[in-house]
Amino acid sequence: MNLNKSSVVDLPLVRQALGLGSPGRWPVWFMRQAGRYLPEYMALRSKMEFVELCRSPKDAAEVTLQPLRRFDLDAAIIFSDILIPCTALGQNLTFGKGHGPQLSPPVQSRDAFRRLRRPDVAAELGYVADALALTKSKLPPGKALIGFAGAPFTVGTYMIEGGSSKEFTATKSMVFRDPVLFADLMKLLRDVTIDYLIMQVKAGADALMLFDTWAGNLTPIDYARDVWPVTADLLATVREATGVPVTYFSGQGSDRILELGGNAQINSRKAFDVLSVDWRVRLSYAARLVKEAGLDVALQGNLDPQALIGPEEQVRASVRSILDEAREACDAGLIHGHIFNVGHGLLPHTPPEAVGWAIDEVRKHGANGPTR
Amino acid sequence: MNLNKSSVVDLPLVRQALGLGSPGRWPVWFMRQAGRYLPEYMALRSKMEFVELCRSPKDAAEVTLQPLRRFDLDAAIIFSDILIPCTALGQNLTFGKGHGPQLSPPVQSRDAFRRLRRPDVAAELGYVADALALTKSKLPPGKALIGFAGAPFTVGTYMIEGGSSKEFTATKSMVFRDPVLFADLMKLLRDVTIDYLIMQVKAGADALMLFDTWAGNLTPIDYARDVWPVTADLLATVREATGVPVTYFSGQGSDRILELGGNAQINSRKAFDVLSVDWRVRLSYAARLVKEAGLDVALQGNLDPQALIGPEEQVRASVRSILDEAREACDAGLIHGHIFNVGHGLLPHTPPEAVGWAIDEVRKHGANGPTR
């Protein structure tokens, strides 16, 4: 592994900022903390298309840093999109008004799969590395920089469907009718994502996150058979190669958690340090499942992003409830840390001041950190 | 309670057909078993609008009976839609091409709520009773007739949003910003739904099902505080008034199950006999949660409707896996019965022959019923 270790600066600080074992400051950041709910983002975005913004290191770095100027956050997450790597695979990516991302041509046959390229990630997605390096150079001390990618299943659904989906009919057709083709696509995405995430750490990412937003739509049995082994391999490989903390987000409730520890193939390899859970599960219950699955990890989450619509006292009460459950789970030895976050990305209508209330409540109610 | 008990025919048979305690035949039916995947439905539907079909007892009964002519099913579920009662409350219901149901005007203020009517259900929704009575008169012996309604939260989301929603922003705005108005809407829907379900039993329904498809989008804490008490009251009231088996479907995974037994208000009242679970959870795991929640119930479910896209052997293997898990849960005393079903409604592209394979596999592999 050719990783330039000197670029992985201050790992103990990063680990502490992400709540991995050290008491003290309770770490907090928000999924999609850079984005449409911020007027300063909308001002910049009005001048260029979304994909163009992702491809411009200077603008992507600027947008990444915007929320840290406004809020007392512990981490920046590089501004990008989980579908950016699909462009290097040979698909065309557009974001049409009102109908979300579109990828063409869709990959629904062996022929379409054969036309995908195994890219030289550094050459074709180097602008993401440049954005990370630029962000890193401007990041205030003590703040962690998070790199990320979409997980093979979640990215695969967009590649197969040609965009967003409600029922995942084309994806499940492939899973059930052509499992060999589906497995080949998963393996290609695993390999490209390994390269992509390692590149991000080389460029300055202090931690990594893998988003498997739609994994919850498969049955736990199909997920455990067709998706988790290749995903776990990806995560463990990246974790071993880079040495940075890795977070996995499996999306949509708790039904996946027990599967995450149960794969013989990965029993001897730790796949992730932090499990990010969405708002559909009580944090205390997720912590129990994590323990039952034999996972030795921290939890991240899980405020309902819509709870930020509410009045100040309701926002603060929701935050306190999560902090209390997290501290109890830490004290009971179920998890060994907690990162406060939302259960899914912030929404365009989120009032920025509500994000401020939530962070302030983490600072006050969580003053002594998640572990006593 | 003015229920004509003589219309509740053959209750032991119904209970047996629904798997409630008696060994023998393994009960099977499918959510949305009448509908667009059947050519005979499409033929009839091509002659009239969807809402018109729901309002025509003769046609609704015909459509209800169609799948029972084709397949060896144990129950018919009356053909209708969970939003039909909203028309009696004063909203206009249309199904536009490509954008799902639309209800106008949306209920997003106290004023809009005041304009809703508390309807005389028998007078305004009598066509549903007529459809049930007509279906009952034509139903082969030994088959159960199921009536249904949407749960207050799920129906409420459509009334508040004015249609389908992805993020439920208007609904959650009301939950968080005007909880008193939200509670008033839930109570109105509880009262109307109680009348509506009792009417269906009077008309011939042998069992009832309440669909809370979107309940899983709330946090378990918000659900337990704002939604489950009023829903449990509805279910228990209908169950006590009618004496027929009641099934509750809470949608989207297992994260709700532990909340269902935990409400002091309903500790002394049984809310439902059967819990219907979707495909996102392993049946064996749902059974454990049911036991932990102190629920003395049967489970229904939970084949991924998309699994019916697959080749015959894959469909049969998926069915066997569910039957095996259900039988084990019954034998372990976690649940006291199982009704084979999908985890959500059949989809328009479902191949009818796959439904046949699934039922055949239930008959073969489940030959001795769910309990030994």
pLDDT in tens, B21-32: 455 789 999 999
High-pLDDT (> 70) share of chain A, %: 92
In one letter, which amino acid is A125?
Answer: L
Side-chain-side CA neighbours of A55 within 13 Å: the count stands at: 13
Distance CA B249, CA B269 (A): 18
Residue A29 has phi, psi (to 5 degrees) of: -150, 175
Burial readout A20-40 (b: 16 or more C-beta within 10 A, e: otherwise): bebeebbbbbbbbbbbebbee
User: Is residue B25, in this structure, part of any structural domain at all?
Assistant: yes
Who contacts B210 (Cβ-Cβ below 8 Å, separation ≥6)?
Answer: B148, B149, B150, B151, B193, B197, B231, B234, B235, B246, B247, B248, B249, B272
What CATH number should be reported for the domain holding residue A264?
3.20.20.210
Reported as a pLDDT band with limits 50, 70 and 90, residue B8 is: very low
User: Is residue B371, in this structure, part of any structural domain at all?
Assistant: no
Q: Number of A:B CB contacts under 8 A?
A: 100
- Length of chain A counted residue by residue: 372
> How high is the pLDDT of residue B141?
87
Number of domains in chain B: 1
Who contacts A120 (Cβ-Cβ below 8 Å, separation ≥6)?
Answer: none
Best residue of B108, B160, B176 to probe chain A, by most A CBs closer than 10 Å: B176
Question: Which pair of tokens denotes residue B283?
Answer: 């049946």
Decide if pLDDT at B363 tops 80.
yes
Side-chain-side CA neighbours of A4 within 13 Å: the count stands at: 10
Taking residue A44's Cβ as centre, other Cβ atoms within 10 Å add up to 15
Of these residues, A15, A32, A239, A256, which one is catalytic?
A32
User: Is residue A343, in this structure, part of any structural domain at all?
Assistant: yes
pLDDT in tens, B258-303: 999 855 445 578 899 999 999 999 999 999 999 999 998 999 999 9
Chain B interface includes A145 (CB < 8 A)? no
- B positions 336-365 inside 8 Å of A (CB): 347, 349
> How high is the pLDDT of residue A123?
96
User: Is residue B110, in this structure, part of any structural domain at all?
Assistant: yes
> How high is the pLDDT of residue A66?
98
User: Is residue A40, in this structure, part of any structural domain at all?
Assistant: yes
Predicted TM-score (pTM) of the model is 0.94
> B267: cis peptide before it, omega within 30°?
no
Out of A169, A172, A254, the one facing B254 most closely (by C-beta) is: A254
A158 is catalytic: yes
Distance CA B2, CA A311 (A): 45
Divide the 372 residues of chain A into consecutive groups of 10 and give the mean pLDDT of each group.
Answer: 37 55 79 97 96 97 98 96 98 86 97 96 97 97 94 98 95 97 98 98 96 96 95 95 94 91 62 95 96 91 97 98 96 92 97 98 91 63
Decide if pLDDT at B16 tops 50.
yes
Give burial (CB, 10 Å; 0-12/13-18/19+) of B235: buried
> How high is the pLDDT of residue A269?
86
- Are residues B176 and A347, on separate chains, in Cβ contact within 8 Å? no
> How high is the pLDDT of residue B125?
98
User: Is residue A370, in this structure, part of any structural domain at all?
Assistant: no
Chain B interface includes A114 (CB < 8 A)? no
User: Is residue A371, in this structure, part of any structural domain at all?
Assistant: no
Higher pLDDT residue, B296 or B346?
A: B346
In chain A, the residue whose alpha carbon lies closest to the alpha carbon of B173 is A309
User: Is residue A132, in this structure, part of any structural domain at all?
Assistant: yes
> How high is the pLDDT of residue A163?
95
- Are residues A282 and B220, on separate chains, in Cβ contact within 8 Å? yes
Place of tokens 């929704």: B125
A32 is catalytic: yes
Whether this model's ipTM surpasses 0.90 comes out as yes
Which helix (H) or strand (E) is A338 found in, with range?
strand A338-342
Q: How far is B29 from chain A (nearest CA, A)?
A: 20
Q: Which domain holds residue A17?
A: 5-365
Chain B interface includes A279 (CB < 8 A)? yes
In one letter, which amino acid is A184?
Answer: D
